């Protein structure tokens, strides 16, 4: 069974396989809220954990698909020890990767030694005709200079006869691995805390403050009814509603409806109704007014701003 950790009213899923199972088998998408290690200062692409709406977490717990657990709070006194252990692990990983990189480069260099020697030989063959032509034109001047040269000067130069200096010799030194090239292992799951205790969504607590609240009960009844009809739902705060209603996976479809939840006895201000209808039509979505009835059924009323069509 999948595990959902709940803390301060926020339900989080840490496993990549669990996230995939929720989306593909149960029709629950949630939204990722974790920062990526290579891009922590951006929010266009986010990673684990997956944050579930309270309605999503309750539905999954009610149908027995997940277990809600209340994880223990981290001890601030253990922060320094955890940070030191993390840095130690990073240093050890960097040393291991540096050794492996040096071995890989040395192996590659040995494989290319023959090609390097062939390239150097071809280069010397191209340079020999040029040096021979230049030597013929300077032969007379060179012989005169050789007659006036002193053997002691040759010895003072510190270079033995017949020595040829070449800067094209391959170096045996391997460049060190830069720290910025360190490979970071990304966790795709989080082990269940040993002291985690099951959480009952029917009882209000610090970690689950939603139980018994009228607003949560209203939203949940509508969410469950739409989910049972095969729709995907997500939050619609920036669209002025409670839920965005998708005909399928949000990765493949755009939302068709902006759902607003209203209790049967609540009056709807005309100004809010007009503004919500115009907003929904401007973003090519239909405003859906949802109201649960005493018998458990949910009544839906769709509105569109005809003048903007």
Active site residues: 246, 254, 285
Cα separation, 184 vs 111, whole angstroms: 29
Q: What Rg, from alpha-carbon coordinates, does the chain have?
A: 36
If DSSP codes are grouped into helix, strand and coil, which group holds residue 5?
strand
Please name the helix (run of DSSP H) or strand (run of DSSP E) that holds residue 88, with its range, or none: helix 79-111
Residue with tokens 């460049």: 175
If DSSP codes are grouped into helix, strand and coil, which group holds residue 287?
strand
Instruction: State the pairing for strand pair 10-13/31-34.
Output: unpaired
Phi, psi of 35, deg, nearest 5: -85, 145
If DSSP codes are grouped into helix, strand and coil, which group holds residue 282?
helix
- Using CA of residue 265, residue 271, residue 276, residue 277, what is the dihedral sign? positive
Q: What order of strands is seen across the sheet that includes strand 298-303?
A: 232-235, 243-246, 257-261, 286-292, 298-303
- Using CA of residue 113, residue 115, residue 116, residue 122, what is the dihedral sign? positive
Cα separation, 305 vs 10, whole angstroms: 36
With beta carbons less than 8 A apart as the criterion, state whether 29 and 232 touch: yes
231 token code pair: 């729709």
232 token code pair: 């995907």
């Amino acid at each position: 069974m999948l595990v959902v950790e709940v803390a301060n009213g926020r339900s989080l899923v840490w496993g990549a396989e669990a996230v995939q199972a929720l989306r593909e088998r149960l029709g629950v998408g949630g939204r990722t809220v974790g920062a990526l290690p290579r891009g922590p200062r951006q929010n266009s692409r986010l990673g684990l954990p997956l944050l579930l709406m309270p309605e999503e977490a309750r539905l999954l717990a009610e149908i027995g698909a997940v277990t809600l657990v209340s994880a223990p709070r981290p001890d601030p006194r253990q922060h320094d020890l955890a940070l030191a252990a993390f840095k130690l692990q990073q240093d050890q990983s960097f040393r291991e990767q540096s050794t492996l990189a040096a071995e890989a480069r040395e192996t590659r260099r040995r494989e290319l030694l023959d090609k390097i020697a062939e390239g150097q030989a071809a280069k010397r063959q191209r340079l020999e005709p040029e040096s021979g032509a230049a030597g013929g034109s300077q032969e007379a001047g060179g012989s005169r200079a050789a007659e006036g040269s002193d053997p002691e000067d040759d010895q003072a130069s510190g270079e033995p006869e017949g020595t040829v200096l070449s800067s094209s010799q391959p170096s045996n030194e391997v460049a060190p691995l830069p720290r910025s090239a360190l490979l970071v292992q990304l966790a795709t799951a989080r082990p269940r805390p040993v002291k985690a205790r099951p959480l009952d969504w029917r009882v209000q607590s610090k970690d689950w403050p939603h139980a018994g609240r009228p607003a949560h009960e209203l939203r949940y009844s509508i969410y469950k009814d739409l989910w049972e009809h095969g729709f995907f739902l997500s939050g619609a705060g920036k669209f002025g509603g409670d839920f965005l209603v998708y005909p399928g996976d949000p990765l493949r479809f755009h939302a068709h409806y902006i759902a607003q939840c209203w209790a049967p006895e609540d009056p709807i201000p005309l100004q809010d109704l007009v503004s919500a209808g115009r907003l929904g039509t401007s973003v090519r979505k239909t405003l859906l007014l949802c109201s649960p009835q005493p018998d458990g059924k949910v009544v839906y009323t769709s509105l569109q701003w005809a003048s903007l069509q």
